[in-house]
Amino acid sequence: MYKQKKDKEKEESKILYLRAESAEDICRLACKFDFTSDTLVLPTSEKSGRLIALGERVDETQIAYYAPVKGSGGIILYEPATSEHNERMSFTTNTDLPGKQYISVLRADLSGFSSAKTIEAKKIQLVRILEPADLVGAIIRKAASDEKIAHVYAFSSGNKKLLGAFEVLGSLSDDKPIFYYAETDGSKLGNFARYDYRANVLDFTGVMEGHAYMYAKVINLAEPFPFLEKNEEVARLITP
């Protein structure tokens, strides 16, 4: 963990909202695929619904991933894609269906938090990974040691498609969080990164099937992390 500022230096807590491509991406982020999940948030202070998954924290700024959603309720039935149907989510009051993934939703008033417009590039340490398979393999192995399913963010920045993740190697800095990123091909990468650890080969799929592979959830974002485009090294990478 990087060191926290002293109390007298602390700023007001803010929320940086980053839009995901779909509500299914938000549910995929929350779901642990073992019939448990992180709780999602529906702000009560908004007329139009936004389904929110709270993510990483940088100093006093909390990153919140969101997607517009229709409907409301305290429970979401999340159904990952299979060979028979596409990935889907819906609000429900019936939690009796066996073998289903349910996600709790908290109606919360977030109006007391200011919205952050950005995160300064100097508050994040960036590490570029040359091969996306190495990045995904590292986060999968780190998550597996904690008996978790890893996740990686996919987003476009300039004319490039990037994969990114926080704290892949644990804490290398006492002062700031570390964001690892790699350039990859393709526009829509799918719901999961599928990694063949025997051959160090990475591909993407919509369905998590097959025991010969290790998987990471892909969270598709509709916009890039703001601290990336403010960084000169990354700017050179994404410029045609």
Handedness of CA 199, 28, 16, 10 (dihedral sign): negative
> Edge-to-edge strands of the sheet including 114-115?
88-91, 75-79, 101-108, 40-43, 50-58, 61-68, 14-19, 114-115
- Per-residue confidence (pLDDT) for residue 212, from 0 to 100: 79
- Separation of alpha carbons 210 and 7, rounded Å: 50
- Per-residue confidence (pLDDT) for residue 156, from 0 to 100: 86
85-91 contact pairs (CB < 8 A, 24+)? 86/206, 87/24, 87/28, 87/191, 87/206, 88/24, 89/23, 89/24, 89/27
Is 90:70 a contact under the CB 8 Å cutoff? no
Taking only the tens place, the pLDDT of each residue in 109-150 is 998 899 999 998 888 988 999 999 899 989 988 887 777 899
Which two three-digit tokens encode residue 19? Answer: 């839009």
- Per-residue confidence (pLDDT) for residue 90, from 0 to 100: 96
- Non-local (6+) Cβ contacts of 74 within 8 A are 104, 105, 106, 107
Parallel, antiparallel, or unpaired for β 50-58 and 61-68?
antiparallel
65: nearest Cα among 85, 79, 46, 51: 51
- Separation of alpha carbons 148 and 50, rounded Å: 26
Three-state secondary-structure class, residue 142: helix
Domain boundaries, the chain: 8-115, 121-238
| pTM flag (> 0.85) | yes
**DSSP code, position 135:** H
- Per-residue confidence (pLDDT) for residue 232, from 0 to 100: 54
Residue type, 98: P
Stretches where the chain sits below pLDDT 50 are 1-8, 239-240
- Per-residue confidence (pLDDT) for residue 50, from 0 to 100: 94
- Per-residue confidence (pLDDT) for residue 47, from 0 to 100: 63
Which two three-digit tokens encode residue 220? Answer: 């598709």
